């Protein structure tokens, strides 16, 4: 009888540990920081489309993360998707990101690629208060 009770305790302990591990893994996989890090790793590996997917997931979990928008913008720049990159930089700045490299990259992108990306029209509409 003691042997069965001891086995039951061991089984209960094992199940409890597995449940805790599963909970920790689930929390990690739904974390904005987790997806942001995955995006950064993909961006460093020059896998920009994959990075975008991770940045998008992270943004859905933490829409006030302006650093995330900046990194997403840099990934878009690497793909020459200037209009989208400018949008991410502008949203990051609106969210309070005042990093000098972001402002510089945003200005550089606008002046270098605005005609190509149709950015002048976007800014004109924004200045007039119209939606895109």
pLDDT digits (tens, 9 = 90+) for 19-68: 665 555 444 446 999 999 999 999 999 999 999 999 999 999 988 888 89
- 79 — pLDDT class (breaks 50, 70, 90): very high
Within this chain, do residues 69 and 5 fall inside the same structural domain, yes or no? Answer: no
Within this chain, do residues 69 and 10 fall inside the same structural domain, yes or no? Answer: no
Asked whether the predicted pLDDT for residue 132 surpasses 60, the reply is no
Within this chain, do residues 45 and 81 fall inside the same structural domain, yes or no? Answer: yes
Using the 8-state DSSP alphabet, how is residue 96 labeled?
T
What CA–CA distance (Å, rounded) separates 63 from 40?
17
If one counts the domains in the chain, the total is: 2
Which domain covers residue 26, as residue numbers?
A: 1-30
Q: Please name the residues in contact with 60: beta carbons below 8 A apart, sequence gap of 6 or more.
A: none
Rg over alpha carbons for the chain, rounded to the nearest Å, is: 23
Within this chain, do residues 26 and 39 fall inside the same structural domain, yes or no? Answer: no
Higher local confidence (pLDDT), 130 or 104: 104
């Amino acid at each position: 009888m003691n042997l069965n009770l001891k086995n039951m305790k061991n089984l209960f302990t094992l199940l409890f540990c597995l449940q805790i591990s599963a909970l920790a893994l689930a929390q990690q996989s739904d974390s904005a920081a987790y997806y942001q890090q995955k995006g950064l790793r993909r961006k460093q590996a020059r896998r920009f489309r994959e990075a975008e997917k991770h940045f998008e997931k992270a943004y859905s979990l933490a829409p006030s993360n302006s650093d995330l928008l900046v990194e997403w913008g840099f990934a878009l720049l690497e793909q020459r998707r200037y209009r989208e990159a400018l949008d991410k930089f502008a949203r990051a700045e609106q969210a309070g990101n005042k990093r000098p490299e972001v402002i510089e990259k945003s200005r550089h992108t606008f002046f270098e690629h605005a005609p190509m990306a149709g950015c002048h029209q976007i800014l004109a509409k924004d200045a007039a208060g119209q939606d895109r």
